[in-house]
A and B are shown apart, each in its own frame.
Chain A
Amino acid sequence: MTAAARWLPVKPSPARPPRPVAALTGLVALLSAICAASLMSGSYPLGLGDLVRTLTGAPPSDMAATVLWELRLPRLLAAALVGAMMALSGAILQNVTLNALADPSLVGVSQGAGLAVVSLIVLLPEFEPGWRPLAALGGALAASALIQALARPDGDAAPMRLILTGVGIAAFVSALTSVLLTYGQFEQALSALAWLAGSLHAATWTEARMLALVFLLLLPPFFGPHVP
């Protein structure tokens, strides 16, 4: 299986898009439009004028200010940051494994984080939700380390083995999570299940602030020197 590393390769793309300024401008415009649409829509609709007035400090009503500043903005920021960070981790994984189908949720990293948080919720309910990000980090790191340790690194097939080992670890870890969900205390299992489904419903400034901090800390390495 010598051609293994070339299965499903990432297409070699130019180092920079052909017209970086135009592409960037277009993407920023699109992002702004989506942000505005997201902030305006909901069970309490806001017009574009109301939106601008509220953001500039002259809200049409207290209700508008509360809805925007306390509910929609933190949720919007959390959604944008979560999306950006998920996409970046996929990009890194695809680059490292030379494989266009790699994704943290297919190869066990997300499952490791999930098992750690579900364990925290079900087995150690006395810990507050604030510990969940740390648990998730620990779980994801442990799963990645396990995958690295188990995937034989030699030869052409190394990137493929990394992914397939991850698929196996994902299945194992998901089964452990299911055991916890099925046989843990019902109340805690239910709250773990709700968390596992993945939702931005409860995002507040606390979450948004923490995501922003992590994002800013982890962003600089992307602009470091290229490793061939």
Chain B
Amino acid sequence: MTAARSGPILAALAAAGLLVLAVALHVAVGAKTIPPSAVLEALWSFDPASFDHAVIREMRLPRALIAAAVGASLAVAGALMQGVTRNPLAEPGLLGLMAGASLAVVVGIGVFGVAAPGWQPLLAAAGALGGALSVWVIAAAVPGGTSPLALVLAGAAVSALLGALVTLAHLLDPESFRDFRVWLNGTLAGRETGVFLWALPWMAGGFLLACALARQVTALAMGEEAAAGVGVDVGRLRLLALLATVTLTAAAVAVAGPLAFVGLVVPHAVRVFTGADYARIVPWSAFGGALFLLLVDTAARVVLAPLEISAGLVTALIGAPLFVWLVRARL
């Protein structure tokens, strides 16, 4: 094996090592710090009588897996959106998908009483699709077309409207406000593994679709005519990418609520290392998203301990300055 070919394998091994370390840190740190040796014991030789082991297997490990899966999904969704809209500011939160998914979940569960966890990703998907299409239609209708500015402003306006509808639903049903208040900030605390298990196949499907589309997205990034010239059906690619983005975003929102800016921060950080090839950006975004959200959630539990900050607020506080910097540097 030559040095050039062993590079990616070494990078993948290093990435896997980092991810394991991040999971271990996430699991070990918390209201009660558990030594790494006990974490390993809980995994290899589980002792049902040990309280620490129960905490790890029942609470912390599921939460770490949820953080990794949600972060990976949102980052891949953001990378796809940025590639297909050729817009460095595209992100599921900014372009209305999360607001749509949130409203659909709040209305579906709070107003219509859809309780089965299997329905939540589907509800969220319908809402995310509605949000994405509204933003796209509004942006396409203004002179100048779907420019970054038009998309972001349409996204802000649609999100404001959908947020107001969520508030309306809460005013009509205070109980729903109590149930969803924390979830609507985007959080990984106290998530139900039931919803996560239902969302996981959707996440996997969306990720595989994104990987399959990656080459064509790279071609599209060079321009529509260039992409058509190498045989890419641009309309079909857009449709499939929308499908993948909606699936990934909806599954993530159903599990953890709207976590803003993950889909913006991670792909841009990843591009620094991978360059502009989406066949590399997509898988590395999945890794980067998982790592990012694991670290964010660890910080969210440690900074104000014993209180914990919603992870969605931390991602916004990290992501919004990056957004401002991107506007400054790239537009």
Contacting residues, chain A, for B144 (C-beta < 8 A)? 3, 6-8
Cβ-neighbour of B153 out of A163, A168, A179, A197 (below 8 A): A163
- Say yes or no: is B176 at the interface (Cβ < 8 Å to chain A): no
Do residues A163 and B149 form an inter-chain contact, with CB atoms below 8 A?
yes
Question: What residues make up the interface of A, taking CB atoms closer than 8 Å to B?
Answer: 1, 3-4, 6-9, 99, 101, 105-106, 150-152, 157, 160-161, 163-165, 167-172, 174-176, 178-179, 182-183, 197
Stretch at the interface among B71-79, B127-135, B316-324: B316-324
Also in contact, A171 and B261, with CB within 8 A (given A6-B144, A182-B310): yes
Also in contact, A8 and B150, with CB within 8 A (given A164-B331, A169-B324): yes
Bound: A32/B313 CA distance, A: 45
Do residues B328 and A151 form an inter-chain contact, with CB atoms below 8 A?
yes
Bound: A82/B77 CA distance, A: 40
Main secondary structure of the interface of B (DSSP, over half): helix
Also in contact, A174 and B316, with CB within 8 A (given A164-B89, A165-B328, A182-B310): yes
Also in contact, A171 and B160, with CB within 8 A (given A4-B331, A106-B153, A163-B149): no
Do residues A8 and B313 form an inter-chain contact, with CB atoms below 8 A?
no
For residue B251, give the distance in angstroms from its CB to the closest CB of chain A: 23
Do residues A160 and B149 form an inter-chain contact, with CB atoms below 8 A?
yes
**Given known contacts A8-B150, A165-B327, A197-B167, what 10 new A-B pairs fall within 8 Å (CB)?**
A106-B156, A150-B328, A151-B327, A163-B153, A171-B260, A171-B320, A171-B323, A172-B321, A178-B185, A182-B310
- Say yes or no: is B307 at the interface (Cβ < 8 Å to chain A): yes
Question: What residues make up the interface of B, taking CB atoms closer than 8 Å to A?
Answer: 89, 94, 142-144, 147-150, 152-154, 156-157, 160, 167, 182, 185, 260-261, 304, 307, 309-310, 313, 316-317, 319-321, 323-324, 327-328, 331
Contacting residues, chain B, for A157 (C-beta < 8 A)? 331
Do residues B313 and A101 form an inter-chain contact, with CB atoms below 8 A?
no
For residue A101, give the distance in angstroms from its CB to the closest CB of chain B: 5
For residue A146, give the distance in angstroms from its CB to the closest CB of chain B: 9
Do residues A165 and B324 form an inter-chain contact, with CB atoms below 8 A?
yes
Contacting residues, chain A, for B310 (C-beta < 8 A)? 178, 182
Bound: A182/B148 CA distance, A: 32
Contacting residues, chain B, for A179 (C-beta < 8 A)? 309, 313
Count A-B contacts at CB 8 Å. Answer: 98
Bound: A171/B318 CA distance, A: 10
Bound: A1/B147 CA distance, A: 10
For residue B83, give the distance in angstroms from its CB to the closest CB of chain A: 18
Contacting residues, chain B, for A161 (C-beta < 8 A)? 327-328, 331
Cβ-neighbour of B149 out of A4, A152, A168, A178 (below 8 A): A4
Cβ-neighbour of A176 out of B94, B147, B317 (below 8 A): B317
| CB nearest neighbor in A for B328 | A152
Bound: A198/B248 CA distance, A: 35
Also in contact, A168 and B143, with CB within 8 A (given A163-B153, A178-B185, A182-B310): no
Bound: A170/B324 CA distance, A: 10
Do residues B323 and A168 form an inter-chain contact, with CB atoms below 8 A?
yes
| CB nearest neighbor in A for B319 | A171
Contacting residues, chain A, for B150 (C-beta < 8 A)? 7-8, 101
Cβ-neighbour of B160 out of A105, A168, A175, A197 (below 8 A): A105
Cβ-neighbour of B331 out of A160, A172, A176, A183 (below 8 A): A160
Contacting residues, chain B, for A165 (C-beta < 8 A)? 324, 327-328
Do residues B327 and A168 form an inter-chain contact, with CB atoms below 8 A?
yes
Bound: A170/B154 CA distance, A: 15
Bound: A178/B94 CA distance, A: 17
| CB nearest neighbor in B for A9 | B143
Contacting residues, chain A, for B320 (C-beta < 8 A)? 168-169, 171-172, 175
Bound: A182/B313 CA distance, A: 10
